[in-house]
């Protein structure tokens, strides 16, 4: 009965948001999205609000009329969402934003008639029959096992560390929170893939709901669902890391050696970066301005570089993306490592200040792993949450960096189809040097209708449907900011992660200048209208002096409020350093607080990498695992 009331309110809200695009399946999909929300407190708050909206008293308080939300007509429900969108109270604006986002993904992230109307083909045929290259286990009873090293996480950090350790002759167990997916499982339906393969169903945000946190949750972690960009850590970043951390390995050549070995294993190349139309526009715009542009290095072998490549964020059907499921996890398994999936590690077992294993749950069953060493490699959100649940404190969870992404987007007089083409093929580092290497770089990524629907501003159901009808002619240039803001990961009373992060004044200035420059790129590429990603976008049509006037307005408003970011890169929340007062783990990745507990993922970064971080993660894990193998052997 309680969920029936929630579903009735969601149906009313969805009718107001989607108008004639509403279908009866939408409320159940929205409820499924709410079930993925990270913290029980946030889920309960939203569900309680929705139930209140179906009472006269609650409706009066939240809508101004004593009429339960489920009783409203479509125009009345639309008027409520419009009222909340521009409300003075932040809570009402957040409620409108949350409901609008989940309704739009529920609509456009699943097959619907509108796909054909705006030229979205959806999945390009059925997935291939190819199954997994490695075996994994889902436990079906309580178990206790022993090993030399238990590795929590299977992405760039965990997968690489496990392979190095197993190849050194150590008995390794790998625990992955997500499921095991192979080519035959890549159905390429956006909403379902987001829920199945991404952390918290891609619903995770920071506490003020201004930044959407995107990370993988599957065997292979982010390397299964990312866009294969493979930058080595820039020299100026390594120098800064050495200075901040006091660790000489960043500049002695030790990390560089690991980066080189990793590059060979994962097949880094610029020879398989043929640009689709989206990347061609970035390249053309930058070239017309006389700005730097170049092919992106990618970790691929045999990439098709065709329309289907743009679906690779839901799994690479060609088996070309060289994530850990096709590289390091294969190496680890061939060396005898055991892999367990759908396994949520709740705490590190610690005895007398020494890590002796982990405790995990798999559905209704418990898994205990006894080990000589524990490697936490669950990413910059889940690793600090695990350590905090295990009683660590100190600098754990602090110094979080997010690479907040925003963009200038626009309409073109041609079909672009931003969901097609090589995942990422071109970039520009024209402004990367500013502020000592803290300037943004410019990239573009494939985005599908469910996600892009949340980028378009929502003013009314009809207005948004009109924008969606033009989605095929949209393109954008993203400004990837290297943030200096020190965010923090904490946990709630149930142990779920909470992310506190806000840009500093200097971050805001760099983000703003990045968007201003991105606007120049897409105007030079031929955009006929250009917009920011604000709740109320700042827009212009190219004309003499128009960009300058737009830029002035963008600088005046900035991005400290009324703006949303996307973060595909989380870093620094258990950072390396020789001083326990400013870092969580030492020069060889061991916790300052607990012996035999190691961290080998992006959370160890002393500061933001400034480029896509995958290879930097690999490098740190590769070196750290070699050190650990020497110690245990």
Write the pLDDT tens digit of every residue in 411-467.
Answer: 999 999 999 999 999 999 999 999 999 999 999 999 999 999 999 999 999 999 999
Mean per-residue pLDDT over the chain, rounded: 97
HEC profile of 31-99: HHHHHCCCCHHHHHHHHHHHHHCCCHHHHHHHHCCCCCHHHCCHHHHHHHHHHHHCCCCHHHHHHHHHH
Alpha helices in 290-425 (DSSP H): 328-334, 379-389
- Amino acid 536: pLDDT: 92
* Percentage above 90 pLDDT, the chain: 96
| SS3 call for 424 | coil
HEC profile of 465-506: HHHHCCHHHEEEEEEECCCCCCEEEEECCCCCEEEECCCCHH
Q: How confident is the model at residue 2 (pLDDT cuts 50, 70, 90)?
A: low
The pair of structure tokens assigned to 565 is 């970011």
- Amino acid 583: pLDDT: 98
Tell me the mean pLDDT in the region 383-411. Answer: 97
Its pTM stands at 0.97
- Amino acid 51: pLDDT: 95
- Catalytic residues, by residue number, are 569
Q: How confident is the model at residue 110 (pLDDT cuts 50, 70, 90)?
A: very high
Alpha-carbon span 432 to 96, nearest angstrom = 36
Who contacts 93 (Cβ-Cβ below 8 Å, separation ≥6)?
84, 85, 86, 87, 535
Tell me the mean pLDDT in the region 134-140. Answer: 97
Alpha-carbon span 157 to 375, nearest angstrom = 9
Tell me the mean pLDDT in the region 377-395. Answer: 98
- Amino acid 4: pLDDT: 84
Whether residue 203 is predicted with pLDDT greater than 80 in this model: the reply is yes
- Amino acid 90: pLDDT: 87
* Percentage above 70 pLDDT, the chain: 100
Q: How confident is the model at residue 562 (pLDDT cuts 50, 70, 90)?
A: confident
Alpha-carbon span 631 to 633, nearest angstrom = 6
Q: Are 255 and 421 in contact (CB under 8 A)?
A: no
pLDDT in tens, 301-347: 999 999 999 999 999 999 999 999 999 999 999 999 999 999 999 99
Mean pLDDT lowest for which of 466-475, 483-492, 579-588? 483-492
Tell me the mean pLDDT in the region 366-395. Answer: 98
């Amino acid at each position: 009965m309680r969920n029936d009331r929630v579903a009735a309110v969601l149906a009313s809200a969805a009718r107001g948001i989607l108008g004639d695009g509403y279908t009866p399946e939408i409320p159940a999909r929205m409820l499924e999205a709410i079930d993925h929300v990270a913290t029980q407190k946030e889920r309960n708050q939203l569900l309680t609000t929705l139930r209140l909206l179906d009472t006269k008293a609650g409706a009066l308080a939240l809508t101004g009329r004593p009429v339960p939300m489920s009783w409203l007509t479509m125009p009345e429900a639309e008027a409520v969402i419009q009222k909340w969108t521009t409300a003075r109270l932040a809570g009402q604006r957040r409620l409108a934003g949350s409901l609008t986002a989940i309704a739009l993904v529920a609509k456009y992230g699943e097959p619907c008639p509108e796909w054909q109307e705006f030229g979205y083909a959806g999945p390009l045929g059925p997935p291939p029959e190819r199954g997994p290259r490695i075996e994994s286990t889902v436990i079906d009873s309580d178990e206790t096992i022993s090993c030399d090293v238990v590795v929590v996480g299977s992405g760039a950090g965990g997968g690489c560390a496990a392979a190095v350790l197993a190849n050194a002759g150590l008995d390794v167990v790998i625990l992955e929170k997500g499921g095991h997916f192979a080519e035959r499982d890549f159905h390429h339906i956006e909403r379902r893939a987001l829920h199945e393969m991404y952390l918290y169903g891609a619903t995770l945000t920071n506490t003020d709901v201004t930044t959407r946190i995107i990370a993988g949750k599957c065997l292979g972690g982010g390397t299964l669902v990312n866009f294969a960009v493979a930058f080595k850590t820039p020299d100026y970043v390594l120098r800064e890391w050495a200075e901040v951390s006091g660790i000489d390995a960043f500049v002695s050549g030790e990390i560089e050696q690991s980066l080189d070995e990793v590059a060979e294993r994962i097949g880094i190349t610029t020879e398989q970066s043929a640009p689709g139309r989206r990347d061609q526009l970035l390249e053309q715009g930058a070239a017309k301005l006389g700005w730097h542009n170049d092919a992106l290095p990618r970790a691929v072998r045999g990439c098709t570089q065709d329309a289907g490549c743009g679906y690779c964020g839901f799994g690479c059907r060609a088996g070309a993306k060289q994530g850990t499921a096709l590289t390091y996890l294969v190496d680890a398994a061939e060396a005898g490592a055991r892999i367990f999936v759908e396994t949520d590690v709740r705490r590190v077992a610690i005895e007398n200040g020494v890590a002796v294993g982990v405790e995990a749950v798999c559905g209704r069953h418990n898994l205990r792993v006894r080990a000589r060493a524990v490697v936490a490699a669950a990413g910059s959100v889940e690793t600090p949450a695990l350590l905090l649940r295990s009683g660590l404190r100190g600098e754990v969870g602090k110094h979080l960096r997010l690479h907040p992404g925003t963009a200038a987007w626009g309409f073109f007089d041609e079909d672009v189809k931003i969901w097609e083409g090589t995942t990422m093929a071109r970039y520009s580092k024209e402004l990367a040097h500013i502020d000592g290497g803290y300037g943004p770089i410019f990239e573009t990524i494939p985005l599908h209708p469910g996600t892009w629907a949340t980028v378009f501003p929502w003013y009314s159901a009809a207005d948004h449907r009109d924008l969606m009808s033009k989605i095929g002619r949209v393109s954008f240039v993203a400004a990837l900011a290297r943030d200096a803001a020190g965010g923090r990961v904490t946990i709630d009373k149930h142990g779920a992660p909470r992310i506190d992060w806000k840009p500093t004044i200097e971050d805001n200035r760099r983000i703003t200048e990045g968007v201003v420059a991105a606007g120049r790129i897409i105007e030079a590429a031929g955009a006929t209208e250009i917009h920011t990603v604000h709740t109320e976008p700042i827009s212009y049509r190219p004309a003499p002096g128009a960009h300058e006037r737009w830029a002035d307005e963008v600088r005046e408003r900035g991005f400290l409020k009324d703006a949303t970011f996307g973060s595909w890169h989380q870093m620094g929340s258990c950072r390396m350093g020789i001083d326990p007062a400013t870092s969580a783990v030492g020069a060889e990745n061991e916790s300052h607080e607990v012996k035999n507990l190691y961290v080998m993922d992006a959370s160890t970064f002393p500061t933001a990498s400034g480029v896509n971080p995958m290879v930097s993660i690999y490098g740190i894990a590769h070196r750290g695992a070699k050190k650990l193998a020497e110690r245990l052997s």
